[in-house]
Structure 1
Amino acid sequence: MTTSAEQAADWLLSGLELRSTLFHVGRYCGAYRASTAGHQRASFHLVLEGACWLHLPAKAGRAASSTRLVAGDAVFLMRDMAHCLSPDAGAPDADDFAVRTGAMTPLDAPHAPADGVALACGFFEFRSDLGDALNSLLPDYIAARHDDARLAGARATFELIRAEAARTNDGLSPLINRLTDVLFFYALRAVASADDFAPGLWTVMRRAEFAPLVSAVIERPGDDWSTHSMAAFCHMSRARFCKQFAEVCGQPPAQFLALLRMKVAAEMLRHGASTVNAAQYVGYQSESAFAHAFKRITGLQPGACRREGASVPEETRVH
């Protein structure tokens, strides 16, 4: 991505509220089948030592897959979904995905076999100022590979997680929760910069003809960004602009504009701005029209967003 596109992507991910909770930390050896499915929550698995296989059954729009994970890898399952970790390259039968086998032992258990795997597993919650608009762009799961050049900055974070897990007897350290939040942000940003990412926000930002427009809207959301003015900014005819923008983004320019404006407004509201001031700053003269658009895009009324901002601890947000 271009520098302006990277900055815009980081801006869209800012305000992301994360809260990770460790479920268990330990070692599996021999025959086992581990899973966090069935808890109605997004979850994660961090491979601290050794290796294992992540098996996902087929579902609508996605083929069954088996992926080898090694020390330093992490996988974030963005919603509750059938899956399992095992030492076997072959996936279990469809009816066996939910059947857990094997017992987890402490990391410092004596005489642990060399072919075992040490895991930190848990759950996480996240929400964005963009509500379901961001969630709908994300894949079912995100795999953060230890050798992914885009995640070079995350390696030190993973080493801190590994050291903290080794330091505590049961591994249930609040520091691991916070470090996992940071690791998730790295993984999410890597997905945003991938060339094969689904059409949407970041796809627009990677296009040289549209990235400056996105940056300009973020900087001046209250300007008169009509379709005609946006096309002129990109030095295109209105028809060509609408066609190319929709092909790249998967939605019309006006809808994308509303998304960016509501993101700006949400940040203002979470920092205590009044609904009137937020509405005017992002180009709305009618408070009711703004409230309707805000609810449609974020899923919240402006007042509820302001109250949430006042109640959320600062350390749970990614800036």
Structure 2
Amino acid sequence: MKPQIERIVHWLLSGLELQSTVFHVGQYCGRWQASTSDKGLASFHVVLHGHCWFKRPDTGECTRLEAGDTVFLLRDVPHVLSPDAEMPAADAPIQRIGTMTPLTASTVVGTGLACGFFAFDAMPGELLLSMLPDTLIVRSSSPSSESARAVFDLIRAEALRDSETPSALIARLTELLFFYALREIAERDDTAAGLWSLLKGSEFSSLVEAIIAEPGHAWSTDAMAAHAHMSRARFFKRFVEACGQPPAQFLTLIRMKMAAGMLREGVSISRAAERVGYQSESAFAQAFKRVTGAQPGALRRMPSSSLVH
């Protein structure tokens, strides 16, 4: 990863709070179907042993997962995991089939899974979610996943502990695995539209770094186009193609992430507004509420965990 891109990725991940809970840990054999759909939550599935197929009836996606692979669903989307590649009908209700049995080192059968849910801190979680696909898959076979494989080994060791209640460490380790997933996406060449693909172009990564360095600068679309050495029309078109959203909307997201960090550190609302380019405190408050769902004053009073949704 280029140093410039790495600095931006580290900045984006700084302050990101992810809270995971384990739904169940065990193994399936025979005919089975698992899902975390229809809960209104982001979720994950870690394949502890064996293999299975991850299927999304709404998109037709059907992907084989091997031991060590993890799929993160950043939004509540219809999906199933099963031992075969047969795709359920798009209009069929999502149902769990089969019985999950306890996972033990002495009896390993079928497919072992650790499944659960997670939620982001409202900011910068919203910034991330707006720029990422619905699903992220961490492949244990990926050359860049050596560190992620070490985390998976720890997850599996915790899953094999002789306990009726899943180890709380599985959730914490899964959170760590998610960070590796984000870093891997930033390094991939087939990244979908969003911040990661935006960083692939040197003209855009330089612009993003400049915005982060000087969020209070008068970053009009014309100013951003000039920084990228493009005409306004060409810049706007290429930016939307790469990022999936207009430059002004992206700028607001970046500014609100920075403002959220300032407010948590005790910076006054008026000072935070000024530092991210707002002369009017009321205009800043409106933008902040629109992006984060919370008033700036509430963010200064609340611990960050109370804003997870």
**TM-score of the superposed pair, with normalisation by structure 1:** 0.86
Q: For the Cα contact (< 8 Å) 1:269–1:302, is it kept in 2?
A: yes
Within 2, Cα distance between the matches of 1:226 and 1:82?
39
Q: For the Cα contact (< 8 Å) 1:165–1:171, is it kept in 2?
A: no
Within 1, Cα distance between the matches of 2:90 and 2:228?
51
Answer yes or no: is 1:271 the counterpart of 2:265.
yes
1:230 aligns to what SS in structure 2?
Answer: helix
Within 2, Cα distance between the matches of 1:155 and 1:222?
41
1:209 aligns to what SS in structure 2?
Answer: helix
Q: CA deviation at 1:220?
A: 1.8
1:72 aligns to what SS in structure 2?
Answer: coil
Within 2, Cα distance between the matches of 1:65 and 1:246?
25
Q: Which amino acid aligns with 1:3?
A: P
Answer yes or no: is 1:75 the counterpart of 2:68.
no
Q: CA RMSD in A?
A: 2.5
- Check 1:178–1:279 CA distance in 2 against 1; reply closer, same or farther (3 A cut): same
1:291 aligns to what SS in structure 2?
Answer: helix
Identify the residue that residue 25 of structure 1 maps to in structure 2. Answer: 25
Q: CA deviation at 1:36?
A: 2.0
Within 2, Cα distance between the matches of 1:155 and 1:213?
34
- Check 1:233–1:141 CA distance in 2 against 1; reply closer, same or farther (3 A cut): closer
Within 2, Cα distance between the matches of 1:171 and 1:72?
22
Q: For the Cα contact (< 8 Å) 2:16–2:121, is it kept in 1?
A: yes
Answer yes or no: is 1:10 the counterpart of 2:10.
yes
Q: For the Cα contact (< 8 Å) 2:46–2:71, is it kept in 1?
A: yes
1:40 aligns to what SS in structure 2?
Answer: coil
- What is the count of residue pairs matched by the alignment? 307
Identify the residue that residue 96 of structure 2 maps to in structure 1. Answer: 100
Identify the residue that residue 89 of structure 1 maps to in structure 2. Answer: 85
162-171 or 289-298, which deviates more: 162-171
**Of 153, 163, 170, the match for 2:157:** 163
**TM-score of the superposed pair, with normalisation by structure 2:** 0.88
Identify the residue that residue 261 of structure 1 maps to in structure 2. Answer: 255
Within 2, Cα distance between the matches of 1:79 and 1:143?
14
42-51 or 200-209, which deviates more: 200-209
Within 1, Cα distance between the matches of 2:73 and 2:243?
25
Q: Which amino acid aligns with 1:302?
A: P
Q: For the Cα contact (< 8 Å) 1:53–1:85, is it kept in 2?
A: yes
Answer yes or no: is 1:248 the counterpart of 2:220.
no
- Check 1:241–1:54 CA distance in 2 against 1; reply closer, same or farther (3 A cut): closer
1:272 aligns to what SS in structure 2?
Answer: coil
Identity of paired residues, percent? Answer: 57
Q: For the Cα contact (< 8 Å) 2:121–2:304, is it kept in 1?
A: no
Within 1, Cα distance between the matches of 2:73 and 2:197?
22
What runs of 5+ residues in structure 1 fail to find an aligned partner?
Answer: none
Within 2, Cα distance between the matches of 1:76 and 1:247?
25
- Check 1:151–1:234 CA distance in 2 against 1; reply closer, same or farther (3 A cut): same
What runs of 5+ residues in structure 2 fail to find an aligned partner?
Answer: none
Answer yes or no: is 1:210 the counterpart of 2:216.
no
1:19 aligns to what SS in structure 2?
Answer: strand
Q: Which amino acid aligns with 2:20?
A: S
